[in-house]
Chain A
Amino acid sequence: MNVEILARAQFALTVMFHYLFPPLTIGLGGLLVLMEWRYLRTGDPLYESLTKFWTKIFALNFALGVATGIVMEFQFGTNWASYSRYVGDIFGSALAAEGIFAFFLESVFLGVMIFGWNKVSKRMHFFSTCMVALGAVLSSVWIIVANSWQQTPAGFVIRNGRAELTDFAAAVFNPSTVHRLVHVWIGAYILAAFFVMGVSAWYILKNRHVEAAKTSFRLALVMGLVASLLAPLSGDGHGRNVAQYQPAKMAAMEGHFVTGTGATPIYLFGFPDVKSQTVKGGVAIPGLLSFLVHRDFKTPVTGLDKFPRADWPPVALTFQTFHAMVALGLLFILLTVAALFWRWRGTLFEKRWLLWVFVLAVPLPYLANQLGWVAAEVGRQPWVVYGLLRTGDALSKSVTAGQVLGSIIMFGVIYALLFAVWLYILLDKIRQGPEPVNGGAQ
């Protein structure tokens, strides 16, 4: 097997495993700030119990996020040394800024947040929770800056065979940073909201911690509803951005092979076939892709035929992951609107089937977040820095296939173990539930 495939597989494995944890901590951080704020204002022991319970869940996920995140920080150097030499100016700066501005903030105040309940005042504790939530958000900012620069590089010049920084602000606010950042945040908030709703629904179904569960569900529903409704708006802006700056990725996401002269349809589903350059077994809406990209129903959207065959991303994978993400996004709207409807009717917590749907829906936003990233990263291929550096030229020259294979096996075994233990402890904590308020009554 060649080093490139192995190194890419290792990156996919380690980054996808890592990304099981940060979205929950980003979204749950926001909810914790809300809950503890209520507690601080009202002194209501229910909110105290809720804050402490969700903090435990937060802490477990945060620990896994840190442990798996350190791999990401060093993997650019170990597996992608040529890439690191090429982009150190910009990509390295973003990672260093993430450390200085975000990691210190969140990890230091996390100590107070978890261990400091009896050590500091309530206000100081609330402040610490805010800082941890802020740190999680800042961390996402810098890593998205780094990733977006790979997608739509800006603010640099190629000199000495590497990308040298010329304009820091332009590199940070490159054309896709803001779109991607907003979409990532929305994904994280949906994930955390569905997580909290799912756990709460389970408590209501089991008739345990009912008051606490209803309160958590209501709070999370607001967050989940708003985020789910914003997702397609942000997705639309992000999609037009992709069409403008990474047209080959857009064509792959939509299985759009031939540019043509007239309106471009959009496929709701189907199976793009590279050989025949058609989408098989699909259902298309005429002109809709033209409208989404150009805001008129007639102008053709650039197809894959405008790019040399060597510059095509893998079409089927990009198409399917992207479409599955969109379908899940629509499902999240449906579910949150349904919940809102019955909440308005006052019978939400009696609809046992709907509560079961929410319990079973917990993994879906995880899936949607992963699918979105696969579409974004696979769609960027064959480039590691879009249009500048090919993935095959980004590898470490001194690293052999055997070494990479060895480390993949190592990470595979360890991550399988960690996943099992994480799930076991997570379910255990959920089974224990929040501390009963007023000593006993649930």
Chain B
Amino acid sequence: MNLNELWFVLLGVLLAGYAILDGFDLGVGILHLFTRKDEERRILLNSIGPLWDGNEVWLVTFGGALFAAFPHAYATVFSGFYTAFMLLLLALILRAVSMEFRSKKESRAWRRLWDVLFGAGSGVAALLFGVAVGNSMRGMPIGADMEFKGGFLDLLHPYTVLVGLFVVSLFAMHGAIYLHLKTTGELQQRIQGWIRCSFWVFVALYALTTIYTLVDVPLATRNFGMMPLAWGVAAFNVLAIANIPRAIRRGRPVYAFVSSSATIAGLVLLLGIALFPELVHSTLTDGVSLDIYNAASSPKTLAIMAVIAAVGMPLVIVYTGVIYWVFRGKVELGKFSY
């Protein structure tokens, strides 16, 4: 494996880490809209309270790593998706400050305002991530000068919106399973209902997205011939999804959470297989696709960044593990909670 391929894989790892970790806290944010009482909302918020910030760093680091390793892809995608990214930033800002502000006042109107912003911010962020994935599967109008040649509305194709909704349902389900682990009693009972409901919506959207992809997005499976392993990944994904209701029924929510995490990892892997070795596929006949070679930094930078990742990421994994261990178990509201 050369350095360019290594960085393609590392970015995939960062993206999968982000989608698994922030996925459940975005999901909790979406589900926040369906709660009834103030205490329930606080339990939801505090289930992710100490964790969400570290989870979001996976996205920030993904952005930084893309900038360093494949600056042309970073520049093209972020300037091309300008309006979409501004909306995403707005959603992420509102979501973050809502958590911090919400419980600082007793007023019901105050809390309702931040509750709605928190839920909406989480939902819009998840939707936009899905739309971004949908666009990278379909390809984008990239000119020979590596610049995006479309507008905001070009990004909203039925397929990309479908993938957006698919990601919303995926994160909602993932978040519901996470909440099952963190709650007790009557609330947990209701969360079981949320899991059931989001699971079937997810399965339906998964089927729809798969069919649409196979019929209309040739890019998605072009590498499957070269990599028979891809079929294995797809099969593994189906098994992981099937295991979710089974694990819940048997009272093993940890397995269900592992399964939904594995589902997300599998989907990121499929995305990687579909794209490789490209990062951004151009749909223009006279355009140029950005791949891991023509979009890359110098070999020197890729090598140094690999050293930085090799030193830093094990540390990150250790202390992420520590904090998940410290805050394991059910949510207890106390003096220091949100």
Q: Is the CB of A88 within 8 A of B101?
A: no
Chain A's closest residue to B53 (CB) is A107
B187 contacts which chain A residues (CB < 8 A)?
A: none
CA of A48 to CA of B60, assembled, Å: 34
A95 touches B89 (CB 8 A): no
Q: Are A107 and B54 in touch, CB under 8 angstroms?
A: yes
Check A96–B68 contact: CB distance below 8 A.
yes
State A93–B297 Cα separation when bound (angstroms).
10
How far is the CB of A74 from the nearest CB of chain B, in Å? 6
Known: A164-B298, A164-B300. A397 touches B53 (CB 8 A): no
**Size of A's binding interface in residues, CB under 8 A:** 71
**Residue pair A63, B319 in contact (C-beta under 8 Å):** no
B83 touches A (CB below 8 Å): yes
**How far, in angstroms, from A100 to B67 measured CA to CA in the complex?**
14
Q: Are B323 and A111 touching (Cβ within 8 A)?
A: yes
Interface residue? B78 (CB, 8 A):
yes
Q: Which residues of A contact B101 (CB under 8 A)?
A: 421, 425
Candidates B69, B81, B319, B327; contact of A115 at CB < 8 Å: B327
User: Is A294 in contact with chain B by the CB < 8 A criterion?
Assistant: no
**Which of A78, A98, A108, A165 has the most chain B CB within a 10 Å cutoff?**
A108
Contact status B301-A165, CB under 8 Å: yes
Contact of B71 among A60, A88, A108, A168 (CB under 8 A): A88
The interface residues of chain A lying within 8 Å CB-to-CB of B327 are: 111, 115-116, 119
**In the complex, A335 has a CB within 8 A of chain B:** no
* Contact mask for chain B residues 50-66; partner A; CB cutoff 8 A; 1 contact, 0 none: 11011011011101111
Please, which residues of chain A bring their CB within 8 A of the CB of B93? 67-68, 70-71, 414, 418
Distance between Cα atoms of A231 and B334 in the complex (Å):
42
B82 within 8 A of A: yes
Q: In the complex the two chains form, is A111's CB within 8 Å of B54's CB?
A: yes
Main DSSP-derived SS at the A contact region: helix
Chain B residues lying within 8 Å of A291, measured Cβ to Cβ, are none
Task: Return A115 CB to nearest CB of chain B, in Å.
Answer: 4
Q: How far is the CB of B331 from chain A (nearest CB, A)?
A: 10
Contact assessment for B79 and A104 in the assembled complex, using a CB-CB cutoff below 8 Å: no
Q: Which of B50, B77, B145, B334 contacts A111 (CB 8 A)?
A: B50
Which residues 408-442 of A sit at the B interface, judged by CB distance below 8 A?
A: 410, 414, 418, 421, 425, 428-429
A91 within 8 A of B: yes
A388 interface residue (CB < 8 Å to B): no
Query: What residues of A have a CB within 8 angstroms of the CB of B322 in the complex?
Result: 108
Q: Which stretch in A188-196, A340-348, A399-407 binds the other chain?
A: A399-407
Q: How far is the CB of B15 from chain A (nearest CB, A)?
A: 13
| Interface stretch (choices B129-137, B219-227, B303-311) | B303-311
Interface string of A31-73 (1 = CB under 8 A from B): 0000000000000000000000000000110011011111101
Residue of B nearest to A407 (CB): B86
**Partner among B54, B64, B81, B149 whose Cβ is within 8 Å of the Cβ of A73:** B64
Contact call B57/A107, Cβ cutoff below 8 A: yes
Chain A proximity of B302: nearest CB distance (Å): 9
Interface flags for B73-94 (1: CB within 8 Å of A; 0: not) read: 0111111111101100110111
Q: Is the CB of B304 within 8 A of A165?
A: yes
Contact among B61, B76, B326 with A81 in the assembled complex (CB-CB below 8 Å): B76
Verify B96–A74 contact, CB threshold 8 A: no
The complex places the Cα of A28 from the Cα of B260 at a distance, in Å, of 40
Docked pose: A91 CA to B65 CA in angstroms: 11
Considering only residues 99-126 of chain A, those with a C-beta below 8 Å from chain B are 99-101, 103-105, 107-112, 114-120
Q: Contact check, B74 vs A92: say whether CB atoms are below 8 A apart.
A: yes
- Judged by a CB distance under 8 angstroms, whether A381 is at the interface is no
Q: How far is the CB of A398 from chain B (nearest CB, A)?
A: 5
Please state if B50 and A99 are interface contacts (CB–CB under 8 Å). Answer: no
Decide: A84 and B75 in contact? CB cutoff 8 A.
yes
CA distance A166 to B51 in the complex (A): 38
Residues of A within 8 A of B70 (CB): 88
- Choose one: A89, A95, A403, A428; the contact of B297 (CB below 8 Å): A89
Nearest CB in chain A to that of B85: its residue: A78
Within 8 A of A (CB), among B145-171: 145-149
Q: Are A165 and B297 in contact (CB under 8 A)?
A: yes
Cα of A120 to Cα of B94 in the assembled complex, Å: 30
B65 lies within 8 A of A108 (CB): no
A55, closest chain B residue (CB): B336
Q: Is A77 an interface residue (CB 8 A)?
A: yes
Contacts of A429 in B (CB 8 A): 104
Q: Are A120 and B74 in contact (CB under 8 A)?
A: no
Q: Which residues of B contact A149 (CB under 8 A)?
A: none
Q: How far is the CA of A168 from the CA of B76 in the complex (A)?
A: 25
Contacts of B146 in A (CB 8 A): 85
- Give the residues in chain B near A119, CB-CB below 8 Å: 326-327
Is the C-beta of B214 less than 8 angstroms from some C-beta in chain A? no
- Closest Cβ neighbor of A168 among chain B residues: B304
If A63-B96, A88-B297, A103-B61 touch, whether A397 touches B147 (CB-CB below 8 Å) is yes
- In the complex, what residue of chain A is closest to B332 when comparing beta carbons? A118
Q: When each residue 305-338 of chain B gets 1 if its CB lies under 8 Å from chain A and 0 otherwise, what string results?
A: 1001100110110011011001100000011110
- Min C-beta distance of A76 to chain B, whole Å: 7
Q: Chain B residues near A406 (CB, 8 Å)?
A: 83, 86
Q: How distant is the Cα of A92 from the Cα of B101 in the complex, in angstroms?
A: 32
Q: Tell me, yes or no, whether A82 is within 8 Å of chain B by CB.
A: yes
Given the known interface contacts A67-B96, A91-B67, A165-B297, the answer about A97 and B49 at a Cβ–Cβ threshold of 8 Å is no
Closest chain-B Cβ to A322's Cβ sits at a distance in Å of: 31
| Chain B residue contacts of A60, Cβ below 8 A | 100
Compute how far the CA of A66 lies from the CA of B95 in the bound complex, rounded to whole angstroms: 11
Q: Are the C-beta atoms of A99 and B60 separated by less than 8 Å?
A: yes
Residues on the B chain within 8 Å of A76, using CB: 67, 74, 78
What is the distance, in angstroms, from B319's C-beta to the closest C-beta of chain A? 5
Query: Which residues of the partner chain B approach A97 to less than 8 Å between Cβ atoms?
Result: 64, 308, 312
Name the CB-closest residue of A to B70: A88
**Roughly how many angstroms separate A118 CA and B297 CA in the complex, as a whole number?**
47
Give Cα A73–Cα B63 distance, bound, in whole angstroms. Answer: 7
The reply on B229 being an interface residue by CB < 8 A is: no
Residues of A within 8 A of B71 (CB): 84-85, 87-89, 92, 162
* 6 A-B pairs with C-beta separation under 8 A: A63-B97, A89-B300, A92-B69, A92-B74, A104-B320, A116-B327
> 4 tightest CB-CB pairs across the interface, nearest first?
A88-B71, A77-B78, A111-B50, A99-B61
Q: 13 other contacts beyond A118-B334, A162-B71, A398-B82, with CB at 8 A cut-off?
A: A77-B85, A78-B81, A88-B67, A93-B297, A99-B65, A100-B64, A109-B323, A112-B326, A114-B49, A115-B50, A164-B297, A396-B79, A398-B80
